[in-house]
Amino acid sequence: MEFVEDAGEFNLIGRLTAISSSKVRPPVMVGVGDDAAVYESSEGMLQVITTDALIEGYHFDYAFYTMEQVGNKAMVVNLSDIAAMNARPILATVALGIPSSYPLENLDALYHGLTHVASTYGVQIVGGDTTRSPVLMLSITVIGEVAQSCIVYRDGAKLGDYICVSGIVGEAAMGLDLLRNDADPSIIGQNIWDQLTSRHLMPVPRLDLVDQWASQGVHPSAMIDISDGLANEIHHICKASDCGAVLWESCLPLPEECPTGLDPPRSSLDYGLNGGDDYELLFTASADVLNQMSLDQITIIGEITEQDVRLHRISGTIESLPAKGHDHFTSADPQDTNSEDA
């Protein structure tokens, strides 16, 4: 008999999609396979829908998170999926599984976290379901909107497009290692400790860029949000767009080296390429489009090529860049993974 742990997350999704039929028909335009599903709600307007589940013990750990932070992050990961389609989130439903012995004040804190993020980005929580569960379980669905002419999928990257990323990549995974290894903030510096750990505990959806591009009248050719690490995500774009990529090590916006307590220590490059939970946007754009974008929030890190995903090292060598990142099923222990993706 075959078990779920033998299949791995991506095979599992493929297996289930085959059962439910991957073919979409109107009004649905995209089903499984992008950051969100897409359908045409009215002439020229698209809705994007994303669902994420968070399970106690797998996606968050009470030792690190306050309940408000759990609520915060649960909403952010969904809003980030909406941002990755270049869409604006409108409303959310929340399904909660709660142990009977769960303290009400923790539940309130969780809901304050959810609500704070939702209201910050103009999202209304319109309902959902509460039920009993052996561990805390949260499933959030967010619906967003975007004009048909502005939606950005994963499959739009073109030969010669530049590859860009927002913010700094790898800080969230570095922050998680600081927390897991109980690193001393006074050695690292309180400011740096706060910055890195908050990147893990309190991520921010990059809807500011969606707004900025809307006001500039431009948008990327392909986009994805970074939940499973930059290397993994560029592979997703290249596979969907049937192209290759080269990333330039010298251009990657990496965190400063920082003692996380790991032995041997993990390099900033490894954090940047294979860390998770950054919720930054990775996208491609032609030179023409890029010329019309503000570059203060984004970094050009590479170029779309015909095939293969490669890393151009500072040393001058060009090497293959494997997709790493986190698989929710094949890791032996959730605590051993390098990300806590939702």
Nearest approach, Cβ of residue 208 and a copy of itself (Å): 22
Q: Which stretch binds a copy of itself (CB under 8 A): 105-113, 169-177, 242-250, 310-318?
A: 105-113
By the rule CB under 8 A, 147 interacts with a copy of itself: no
Q: Which of 134, 217, 264, 316 binds a copy of itself (CB under 8 A)?
A: 134
Contacting a copy of itself within 320-339 (CB under 8 A): 328-329, 334
Q: Which stretch binds a copy of itself (CB under 8 A): 121-129, 172-180, 251-259, 280-288?
A: 121-129
Q: Which of 66, 95, 195, 323 binds a copy of itself (CB under 8 A)?
A: 95
By the rule CB under 8 A, 111 interacts with a copy of itself: yes
Among residues 45 and 314, whose Cβ is nearest to a copy of itself?
Answer: 45
| DSSP assignment letter at 336 | G
Element (H, E) at 281: strand 281-285
CB of 219 closer than 8 Å to CB of 213: yes
Contact flags string 12-31 toward a copy of itself, x per CB under 8 A: xx-xx--xxx--xx-xx-xx
Among residues 13 and 287, whose Cβ is nearest to a copy of itself?
Answer: 13
Among residues 15 and 158, whose Cβ is nearest to a copy of itself?
Answer: 15
Q: Count Cβ atoms below 10 Å from residue 258 Cβ, excluding itself.
A: 22
Q: Which stretch binds a copy of itself (CB under 8 A): 91-99, 151-159, 165-173, 195-203?
A: 91-99
Q: Which residues of 82-107 are buried (b: 16+ CB within 10 A; e: fewer)?
A: bbbbbbbbbbbebbbbbeeebeeebb
Cα angle at 133 between 70 and 50, to 5 degrees? 50
User: Could you give phi then psi for residue 81, rounded to 5 degrees?
Assistant: -65, -35
For residues 88 and 83, what is the distance between their CA atoms, to the nearest angstrom?
7
- The set of residues, in sequence order, having a beta carbon less than 8 Å from that of 79 and lying 6+ positions away, is 89, 117, 121, 123, 142, 205, 207
By the rule CB under 8 A, 160 interacts with a copy of itself: no
Contacting a copy of itself within 194-253 (CB under 8 A): none
By the rule CB under 8 A, 9 interacts with a copy of itself: yes
DSSP output for 7-68: H-HHHHHHHHHHHH-S---TTEEE-BTBSSEEEEEETTEEEEEEEEEEEBTTTB-TTT--HH
Q: Which residues of 189-218 are buried (b: 16+ CB within 10 A; e: fewer)?
A: eeebbebbbebbbbbbbbbebbebbeeeeb
Nearest approach, Cβ of residue 137 and a copy of itself (Å): 6
Q: Which of 68, 72, 76, 93 binds a copy of itself (CB under 8 A)?
A: 93
Nearest approach, Cβ of residue 72 and a copy of itself (Å): 13
Cα angle at 297 between 67 and 200, to 5 degrees? 20
Among residues 151 and 304, whose Cβ is nearest to a copy of itself?
Answer: 151
Name the packing angle between helices 190-201 and 171-180 (round to 10°).
Answer: 110
Q: Which of 72, 115, 221, 338 binds a copy of itself (CB under 8 A)?
A: 115
Q: Which of 61, 64, 66, 133 binds a copy of itself (CB under 8 A)?
A: 133
Residue 216, helix vs strand vs coil: helix
Q: Which stretch binds a copy of itself (CB under 8 A): 113-121, 177-185, 225-233, 263-271?
A: 113-121
Q: Which stretch binds a copy of itself (CB under 8 A): 134-142, 198-206, 236-244, 285-293?
A: 134-142
Residue count at the site for a copy of itself (CB under 8 A)?
Answer: 84
Contacting a copy of itself within 37-76 (CB under 8 A): 37, 39, 41-43, 45, 47, 49-55, 57-59
Name the packing angle between helices 67-83 and 207-216 (round to 10°).
Answer: 30
For residues 301 and 169, what is the distance between their CA atoms, to the nearest angstrom?
11
